[in-house]
Structure 1
Amino acid sequence: MVAPTLINQSEMESLMSLLDAAKRARENAHAPYSNFKVGAAVKTASGEIFAGCNVENVAYPEGTCAEAGAIAAMVMAGQREITEALVIADAPLPVTPCGGCRQKLREFCGPETRVTMLTTGGAEQVMTMAELLPGAFTNAHLENT
């Protein structure tokens, strides 16, 4: 069991803004095959919040994850740095981003960026990006190319 992290009022307001955005996104998910709707929201260094939802396709695995949608919206708006992320799904346990989305998040997050994972029932898990993706492949691996 992970010990709870104490957060200040500003961090709580930020978390609530992310949660509201992710919940709204989740409601718009297109999940007719799995019925597993996911919403995600990311906050940038400028304070802007971008959200995304999963979009399934009958031709699996051609769907899009919620985290990827939020990142795409962020990049389209000209932002490149995530300072916080949140994912919510209706599951018995908090749903972590898939492996591909962990790498996508890491492209725009530092190792200490907080990622909050929630269930619609209120269960919560908070991890840093480094905890979610230890040994991440980063641009440092490309320095000699």
Structure 2
Amino acid sequence: MADSNGGAADVGEIDWEPLAAAAHEAMLHAYAPYSRFPVGAAALTEDGRIVSGTNVENASYGLSLCAECTMVGNLQMTGGGRLSAFYCVNSAGAVLMPCGRCRQLLYEFAAPGMVLMTTTGIRAMDDVLPDAFGPQHLEEIS
């Protein structure tokens, strides 16, 4: 597997259990009084840290934050870096596929070879967001 950043992921080196557990733990802290659909997300960074996030809803629905958004905020608050592997769950622990907006957010912070646990198994970032637009394209414009 390769992603659009040019790297290849070694899926065999990723221990998915701690990511699943961190995503589940994050989900327990969701603020989802409107949808009643708590979500937790967790990712492994290139330097081995696990960052997580949960959805935070708002009465003005458009202002709600996805779990991936708060996870990326956690990434930035704990030293930054790039994401190597990603896992997202609902309240039953079932794997969730990030929406298109969240895939774009994950792409922005993806390490070369980033992989995601999806509803159809482990997939490369390039598979879930083909022909993605990223910071490198902004450099081409200027």
**Residue in structure 2 matched with residue 127 of structure 1 by the alignment:** 123
Q: Counterparts of 1:85 and 1:74 in 2: how far apart (Å)?
A: 12
Q: TM-score, normalised by structure 2?
A: 0.83
The unaligned stretches of length 5 or more in structure 2 are: 1-10
Q: Is the 8 A contact 2:40 2:90 kept in 1?
A: yes
Aligned-pair Cα RMSD in Å: 2.3
Q: TM-score, normalised by structure 1?
A: 0.81
Q: Counterparts of 1:131 and 1:41 in 2: how far apart (Å)?
A: 19
Identical positions, percent? 36
| Aligned-residue offset at 1:117 | 3.2
Q: Counterparts of 2:29 and 2:121 in 1: how far apart (Å)?
A: 23
Q: Counterparts of 1:79 and 1:99 in 2: how far apart (Å)?
A: 22
The unaligned stretches of length 5 or more in structure 1 are: 1-6, 119-123
**Residue in structure 2 matched with residue 32 of structure 1 by the alignment:** 33
Aligned: 1:140 with 2:136: yes
Bigger RCO (CA 8 Å, 6+ sep): 2
| Aligned-residue offset at 1:125 | 3.0
Residues 1-145 of structure 1 mapped to structure 2, 5 A cutoff: 8=12, 10-11=13-14, 14-90=15-91, 94-110=95-111, 112-117=113-118, 125-144=121-140, 145=142
Q: Is the 8 A contact 1:88 1:117 kept in 2?
A: no
Q: Is the 8 A contact 1:111 1:128 kept in 2?
A: no
| Aligned-residue offset at 1:90 | 4.3
